[in-house]
């Protein structure tokens, strides 16, 4: 038996988020034990990990819901599902490029400041020695 708290710890998603995903249909209704406590199966955990990965990649919840509806329709929707993932990969690749440019600029600015600090320290050493 895997409780919601366990899934929350393993996926680093809050229990509220997991309940929300179930409520909006991203997760199928989770089986419950005789006491009404959610009992996640391994397949549920894999789906949560997939959802988390796709959300980290920037896929909107609306698109994820569409993806899972298509998944329920079986193999006839494989191409459409693949296209959703390809589109998201392209968007993520573009974001990574932009972030790399930002990182490169930050590294440049930091090196400028480090050079300025080094030059100032050299001047102070020269003044002390004089």
CATH code (residue 41): 1.10.1660.10
Which pTM does this prediction carry? 0.77
pLDDT score for 128 = 76
Number of domains in the chain: 2
Q: Are residues 41 and 100 in the same domain?
A: no
User: Are residues 88 and 71 both part of a single domain?
Assistant: yes
65 and 117 both lie in a single domain = yes
Domain boundary (39, 56, 73) is at 56
Same domain, 92 and 51: no
Same domain, 69 and 130: yes
Q: According to the model, what pLDDT value does residue 127 have? A: 76
91 and 126 in a single domain? The answer is yes
User: Residue 109 corresponds to which tokens in the numbers above?
Assistant: 């600015």
Per the structure, the complete domain to which residue 16 belongs is given by: 1-56
| Nearest CA among 67, 29, 62 for reference residue 50 | 67
Residues 70 and 43 reside in one and the same domain: no
Query: How far is it, in rounded angstroms, from Cα 104 to Cα 98?
Result: 10
Looking at residue 66, its pLDDT comes to: 94
Contact yes or no for 11/48 (Cβ under 8 A): yes
Whether residues 35 and 98 fall in one domain: no
At 126 the pLDDT is 75
Residues 42 and 67 reside in one and the same domain: no
* Per-residue pLDDT tens digits of the chain, which is 130 residues long: 799 999 999 999 999 999 999 999 999 999 999 999 999 999 999 999 999 999 999 999 999 999 999 999 999 999 999 999 999 999 999 999 999 999 999 999 999 999 999 988 888 787 777 6
- Alpha carbon distance 30, 41 (integer Å): 8
DSSP calls for 29-61: PPPB-TTS-B-B-HHHHHHHHHHHHHHHTT--H
Say what the pLDDT of residue 26 is: 92
Question: How would DSSP label each residue in 97-114?
Answer: HHHHHHHHHHHHHHHHHH
Q: Are residues 24 and 10 in the same domain?
A: yes
Tokens 């994820």, residue located: 64
For residues 44 and 30, is the Cβ–Cβ distance under 8 A?
Answer: yes
Q: Contact, 30 vs 39, CB < 8 A?
A: yes
Supply φ then ψ for residue 81, to 5 degrees: -65, -40
70 and 36 part of one domain = no
The predicted structure's pLDDT at residue 55: 95
Question: Do 23 and 51 fall into the same domain?
Answer: yes
């Amino acid at each position: 038996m895997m409780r919601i708290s366990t899934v929350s710890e393993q996926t680093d998603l809050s229990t509220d988020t997991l309940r929300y995903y179930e409520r909006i249909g991203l997760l199928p209704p989770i089986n419950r034990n005789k006491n009404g406590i959610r009992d996640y199966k391994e397949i549920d955990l894999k789906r949560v990990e997939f959802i988390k990965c796709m959300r980290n990649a920037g896929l909107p919840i609306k698109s994820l819901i569409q993806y899972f509806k298509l998944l329920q329709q079986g193999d006839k929707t494989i191409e459409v599902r693949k296209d959703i993932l390809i589109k998201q990969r392209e968007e993520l690749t573009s974001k990574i490029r932009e972030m790399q440019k930002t990182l490169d600029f930050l590294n440049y600015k930091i090196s400028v400041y480090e050079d300025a600090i080094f030059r100032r320290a050299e001047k102070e050493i020269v003044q002390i020695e004089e």
